[in-house]
Amino acid sequence: MKLIFLGPPGSGKGTQAKRVAAYLGVPHISTGDMLREAVARETPGGVKARDFIGSGLLVPDELINIILGERIERKDCQKGFVLDGFPRSSGQADMLTKKLQELSMTLDKVIDIIASFQVISERICGRRSCPNCGASYHILYSSPEKKDICNECGNSLVRRSDDTEEVVQARYKEYMEKTMPLSDYYKHKGLLYTVNGELDIEEVYKNIVNIILPKML
């Protein structure tokens, strides 16, 4: 199963994509996580990406396309993958279409998680993340068992540097201008399924599983 998760920042792409990937037993590929790791390791790509991420702008297509292209060529993607946060521009979508053709792969479905700016802003400003294993929490809606400690690995949780009100506005603007048009791109291909991301996490998950495996629940 080869899936894409689209949606504005904070709509719940990461939360749902990770869980769906684990359920399907395929890799969860988050370009945001890959970029943050590259920034932390100060790789040449990470150094180039740092300022874009910090100001809420998309990193240039030529940089992210290389990173993503190399990732889906890896053997573990042959049985499927869940893309979280890629593609985000028409250039990225075209690159992905070409890459999948080269690899003789077919995309199964695109899940578009919709939520208003007010909802996503509240979620992002309350988010806490684990810099070690990538687990994500919210101070009100999905708090860890021990305050500021990751349930999965026991590391201290942090607030992402781009999770401020000002940067969220910039991220949302980028989404509206560059990523939202991809909903139509995939609708025309007959692959788009829209999900209400303002429901609680379990309901959103059930609705997604009903779309990807309609007979399982």
- Active-site residue, selected from the candidate residues 2, 18, 50, 127: 127
Q: How far is the CB of 66 from ligand AP5 (least distance, A)?
A: 12
The one among 31, 96, 130, 134 contacting ligand AP5 by CB under 6 A: 31
- What is the dihedral sign for C-alpha 140, 25, 37, 208? negative
Select from 90, 97, 132, 136 the one that contacts ligand AP5 (CB under 6 A). Answer: 136
Phi-psi region of 25 (alpha: psi -120 to 50; beta: other; left: phi over 0): left
Among 6, 7, 29, 81, binds ligand AP5 (CB under 6 A): 7
198 phi, psi to nearest 5 deg: -90, -5
123 binds ligand AP5 (CB under 6 A): yes
Q: Identify the CA nearest to 4 among candidates 12, 116, 103, 13.
A: 13
Question: Taking contact as CB under 6 A, which single stretch among the options 6-14, 37-45, 98-106, 144-152 is the one that binds ligand AP5?
Answer: 6-14
Closest to 170 (Cα-Cα) out of 26, 23, 57, 65 = 57
Give the residue, chosen from 171, 192, 207, 208, that forms a contact with ligand AP5 under the rule CB under 6 A: 171
Question: Does the footprint of ligand AP5 cover residue 45 (CB under 6 A)?
Answer: no
* Pair 208, 195: CB distance under 8 Å: yes
151 binds ligand AP5 (CB under 6 A): no
160 has catalytic annotation: yes
By Cβ distance, which residue is nearest to ligand AP5?
A: 32
Nearest to 81 by CA among 91, 93, 73: 73
| Contacting residues toward ligand AP5, per CB under 6 A | 7, 9-15, 31-32, 35, 52-53, 56-59, 64, 85-86, 88, 92, 123-124, 127, 136-138, 141-142, 162, 171, 197, 200-201, 204
What residues are annotated to the active site?
Answer: 13, 88, 127, 160, 171
